[in-house]
A and B are shown apart, each in its own frame.
Chain A
Amino acid sequence: MMAQIVYFKEWLIVFYKKHVDVVLPVLKLVFAFFTMCMFQGMFPYNMVINKPGIFLVLSAAQAFLPISVLYYMISILIMINLWKVSMDIFLGFVIFSIICSLAFVRVDRKHAVILIVTAVMFYLKLEYLLPVLLGMIVGFGAILPAAAGVVVYFLSVYMTDVSTLLTTSSSSNFGMGLQRIVNLMLIDKKLLVFLITFSLIIFITTLLCHLFYERAWLFAIFIGHIAMILLLLFGRLIFELDYKIWRLFLEMILGIGCCYIYRFFRGIGDVSRIEKASFEDDEYFYYVKAVPKIKVTQKDRNVTDIKSGENEDDILFDDITEETDLFDGNREEAEKE
């Protein structure tokens, strides 16, 4: 069973390496389309832009652009929807976007994706899967984007209340909507509990993952999830909040599974790809295509099940040589050349 999973992982790596030029844009297109539809669902105030065709065209463009551009596209999408409701809320969101850009997008643009994923997971009611996974995958850098994602989701929740208020009130002054939203954010204990829990769990998980111990990640998964449950239950008790306990435990189990799956497939997206380079010397122009070597396929392997005290992983991988990467570390070997 374990061997079959290993072969599947290796097949996936080989497939990704061979077809990375097609697979990556398709994945980006699907992700962009899905997230834009989700955000339009969270902020459905402008029906002019609520057309799948527009999202499809933008997603097709996004397929060939860096993933951080998706953050700007979604920010503009939200702004267009908020403009329809109220100018002051639109300006408030613009200021919030600027704060996010200055706080974490400036440092690493890829972290902007965490904000998008957090808000979408909240919308899909799968938020409890996130904190430990973010701590394992990203580290401390996920704290601010995750917090911003939580704020964006809660903004979408408050907007339903505020848009009704602005529609029904006979005299709405400039700033009434934004003031209402800021007041709701300041008094909402659920938002506070989620912000503190997510930040602490990402922090704890990252610390645990970086311990000098081989199985530190295992501790991080279990301790992270248990700590999350305890914090959320404590918050529920103190502030009398209304999130469902059965969903918490169900998502904790799903979260542990997702962390295991991530751990097993870790590094698939990180493989060296086909590199194209051009250079010249005195005699020739060189147009080079460097194709990374394939590690192992099912046909090359003879797997023997050995039931002993030894670690099965060590037996499976003991004759796989390390893939030569583009940076050779051994000076002595090079000097012999």
Chain B
Amino acid sequence: MIDPKKVRLMTKLAVYEEGPGKKDLKINCYSKRTYVNIKQLESIIAITVAYLLGLGLYCFGIYTDIISQGLKFPYQKYILHAMILYLIIIIIDFVCTRRYYTKVYDKMREDIKQYDYNLYRLARYIQKEEKDRA
């Protein structure tokens, strides 16, 4: 005999596991601090590589000036500006990444809490069933 309440509960669990739960259960393996720090590190590496590529494109634009002026080109000024811009970008990225992934982790924790609670309910329900049978 099929118990509709049990089926409803198991459906909720299955839908979560096959949907957002796939990503959430992976994130749940980490503590909040570790997860945010890992994402921060990934972000810094990605932004640094993107910045260097962008800088390379910019240097290509001023390539003729560099070649024509040679050693008279104000390298120090450009390097200083590039470093200041990089620092600004990294600081903005640091703040934004931290906030974003903290929110992602907090949302994940809410959903996992509900999922854990549904699992607990299912376990209690099965225990009650077995007790009734016995």
User: Which residues in A have some Cβ–Cβ distance to B below 8 Å?
Assistant: 92, 95-96, 98-99, 102-103, 106-107, 140, 175, 178-179, 182-183, 185-186, 275, 277-279, 281, 284, 286, 288, 290, 326-329, 331, 334, 337
Q: Are A278 and B14 in contact (CB under 8 A)?
A: yes
Total number of B residues with any Cβ neighbor in A under 8 Å: 34
- Which of B56, B63, B96 interacts with A95 by CB under 8 Å? B56
Q: Are A288 and B16 in contact (CB under 8 A)?
A: no
Closest 5 CB pairs of A and B: A182-B61, A277-B14, A102-B50, A102-B46, A99-B50
Q: Are A331 and B50 in contact (CB under 8 A)?
A: no
Distance between Cα atoms of A337 and B129 in the complex (Å): 13
Chain A hits for B18, CB < 8 A? 277
Q: Are A284 and B60 in contact (CB under 8 A)?
A: no
At the interface, yes or no: B85 with Cβ under 8 Å from chain A?
no
User: Which residues in B have some Cβ–Cβ distance to A below 8 Å?
Assistant: 2, 5-7, 10-16, 18-19, 43, 46-47, 49-50, 53-54, 56-58, 60-61, 63-64, 96, 100, 111, 114, 117, 121, 125
Main secondary structure of the interface of B (DSSP, over half): helix
Given A106-B46, A286-B7, decide whether A95 and B57 contact each other with a Cβ distance below 8 A.
yes
Q: Are B14 and A327 in contact (CB under 8 A)?
A: no
Q: Are A326 and B2 in contact (CB under 8 A)?
A: no
Q: Are A327 and B57 in contact (CB under 8 A)?
A: no
Distance between Cα atoms of A106 and B101 in the complex (Å): 13
- Which of B2, B49, B63, B114 interacts with A102 by CB under 8 Å? B49
Given A107-B100, A277-B15, decide whether A98 and B57 contact each other with a Cβ distance below 8 A.
no
- Which of A103, A182, A284 interacts with B2 by CB under 8 Å? A284
- Could you list 6 A-B pairs, sorted by A, with CB under 8 Å? A182-B57, A277-B11, A277-B14, A290-B11, A328-B114, A337-B125
Of chain B, the residue at the smallest CB distance from A184 is B61
Q: Are A140 and B14 in contact (CB under 8 A)?
A: no
Distance between Cα atoms of A290 and B7 in the complex (Å): 11
Distance between Cα atoms of A327 and B60 in the complex (Å): 54
